[in-house]
Amino acid sequence: MNTSENSVAFGAPGIEPRWTSSAKEGLGTAYHTSCRVWFTLSHGIVNEIYYPTVDQPNTRDFQFLISDGETFCHEEKRDLQHRIEYPERDCVFYRLTNSEPGGRYRLIKHILTDPHRSVVLLHTRLEVLDKSLRGKLRLYALLAPHLARQGAGNSGWCSEIGGHNLLHAARKDVQLVMGCSRGFSRRSIGYVGASDGWRDLMDNFKMDWEFRKAGEGNIALTGEIDLQGGDEFAIAIALGRTCHSTVAKLLQSLAEPFEVHRQTYIRQWQRTVINPKYDFSQHTSDGGHLYRLSRCILLAHEDKTFQGALVASMSIPWGETKGDNDLGGYHLVWTRDLVQSATALLATGQTGTPLRALIWLAAIQEADGRFPQNSWINGNAFWCGVQLDEIAVPILLAWRLHREGVSLGRFNRVCDR
């Protein structure tokens, strides 16, 4: 076992980085603008985490590895059976149950963000149903940073701050810190494909490496959960601009009970229900569930710095085959998709987001009336093609808002013609 205080991982810079599946099953963020982090879900785990804007992914994925230390090591996304549930109405709050196919154990995770901080929180319970495995299972948190849209050039290290064993990653001006309410009993930073925690555990089902740091490369953070005090814990993943501010956010989030975060998070989202007449529960076979969830999903796609900018999707198509040179993905603003999302929200009784979307479009419109084919949320064009429907649809959005009686300010005169 490598326990040197100054141990550096081998195998730099790691294999060529890739993103992950775009087959999303969920996404979430707090509705409050002070929380500037978003998460996505697929295959029972967390995928990309976006920060500080909705067009900048910073992770490939986060999952647990489960081992008995002798005969197996299971990977959540590949080896377990997944079920996703929605415990609350009108809210992007999720319960994921990942079960071992033989029924020997399962992980139950509730996922949300801190209502007011840029921190993703996962409350997790390990249920061991096979008596022969009780007291034997080991649980490992595995996170792949891809900070500031890049899997290469990430650096990582371990630290001990305020009595907490933490795992850090950094690239450019983005910092990521991962911690656990029960603490990590062991930690390691490694290069993907050479010295990462997945490769370590899959070799002999034990964690043999404890590397303290890894320089620039495609890295992974691994931490063994301390289960001595019980089988329930919370994982916190914080993002920020400086190491100190990011650690402070993480520790502040962990200092408050998960239930307090849950109640505030749900309350924020349920306040977005503007008019009960748009409920439609009596007109659908699922009591309005899919409609309500879709409305929340659309609202969650709006950026909190560049308000009114809604990306097409928080995903990267065929992401498992895409590397750092494929920057765009679907986390860009397409004028067409933006107007379609805004129009759908208008049909649910929302007017604030559609109006902000129209004004955001007006701010990036060129002198000859064109809009970029797609752009980052700061308005910088990504693809520079011209598509006629994307030039026309903002006019339709303005007319629909005007028809609903929404004041458009200086645009009103145009709509009256």
CA distance 140 to 119: 20
Check whether residue 186 and residue 320 sit in a common domain: no
CA distance 277 to 275: 5
Tell whether 18 is covered by a domain. no
Check whether residue 100 and residue 244 sit in a common domain: yes
Tell whether 263 is covered by a domain. yes
Tell whether 16 is covered by a domain. no
Tell whether 3 is covered by a domain. no
Check whether residue 200 and residue 316 sit in a common domain: no
Q: For residues 237 and 178, is the Cβ–Cβ distance under 8 A?
A: yes
Q: For residues 133 and 105, is the Cβ–Cβ distance under 8 A?
A: yes
Whole-prediction pTM = 0.95
Check whether residue 215 and residue 321 sit in a common domain: no
pLDDT, tens only, 352-378: 999 999 999 999 999 998 998 999 999
Residue type, position 112, single letter: L
Tell whether 136 is covered by a domain. yes
Output the pLDDT for position 277. 83
Domain of 101: which CATH number?
2.70.98.10
Domain final residue, candidates 243, 268, 293 = 268
Output the pLDDT for position 408. 85
Give me the phi and psi of 383, to 5 degrees please.
Answer: -100, 140
- Supply the range of the domain harboring residue 357: 301-415
Q: Is 75 left (phi over 0), alpha (psi -120 to 50) or beta?
A: beta
CA distance 32 to 385: 35
Domain final residue, candidates 244, 268, 292 = 268
CA distances from 155 to 170, 221, 294 (A): 5, 10, 37
- DSSP code for 16: P
Q: Is 148 left (phi over 0), alpha (psi -120 to 50) or beta?
A: left
Low-confidence ranges of the chain (pLDDT < 50): 1-4
CA distance 295 to 314: 15
Check whether residue 305 and residue 253 sit in a common domain: no
Tell whether 2 is covered by a domain. no
Tell whether 276 is covered by a domain. no
Check whether residue 134 and residue 229 sit in a common domain: yes
Half-sphere exposure of 295 (CA within 13 A, CB side): 24
pLDDT, tens only, 256-279: 999 999 999 999 999 999 888 888
In sign, the C-alpha dihedral spanning 238, 242, 247, 250 is negative
Tell whether 318 is covered by a domain. yes
Domain final residue, candidates 225, 245, 268 = 268
Total count of domains within the chain: 2
Output the pLDDT for position 295. 96
Check whether residue 58 and residue 189 sit in a common domain: yes
